[in-house]
Amino acid sequence: MFGGMTGVEGVDAAKAIGAAIAIGLGGLGPAIGIGMAVRGAMDAIGRNPEAAGEVRATMIVGAALAEAVAIYAFVIAIIIAIVL
C-alpha cells in the first residue's frame, strides 16, 4: 500500500492516514445524528407549536452530546498524528 516507504516514512504515512480516517468517520456519525435530530425536532414543532420550548431544549442537549463524540474523534486524531 505504501509502495517503497519503509521505516519512519511509512510510519508517518500510516499515522496521517489513521488520523484522517479517525476524524473523517468520527465526524460523519455526529453530523448525521444532529441532522436527524433537528429534522425530528422541526417535525415535532410543526405538529405541536406549543411544545416548541421543550422540544428545542431536548434537541440542544442531544446535539451537544452528539457533538461531544465528534470532539472525542478529533482528540484521538490529534493523539494519533502527534503523540504516537
50 domain residue, yes or no: yes
Q: Note whether residue 53 is domain-resident.
A: yes
Q: Would you say residue 23 lies in a domain?
A: yes
Question: Is 4 domain-assigned?
Answer: no
User: pLDDT per position in the chain (84 positions), as tens?
Assistant: 556 667 788 888 888 888 888 888 888 988 898 899 899 999 999 999 999 999 999 989 988 888 898 899 889 888 888 887
Number of independent structural domains in the chain: 1
pTM: 0.70
For residue 65, give every residue at least 6 positions away whose Cβ sits within 8 Å of its Cβ, in sequence order, or none.
Answer: none
Say whether 73 sits in a helix, a strand or coil.
helix
Distance CA 20, CA 13 (A): 11
User: Grid coordinates representing 23?
Assistant: 476524524
CA 79 to chain CA centroid, Å, is 16
Supply the range of the domain harboring residue 69.
Answer: 9-83
Judge whether 3 lies within some domain.
Answer: no
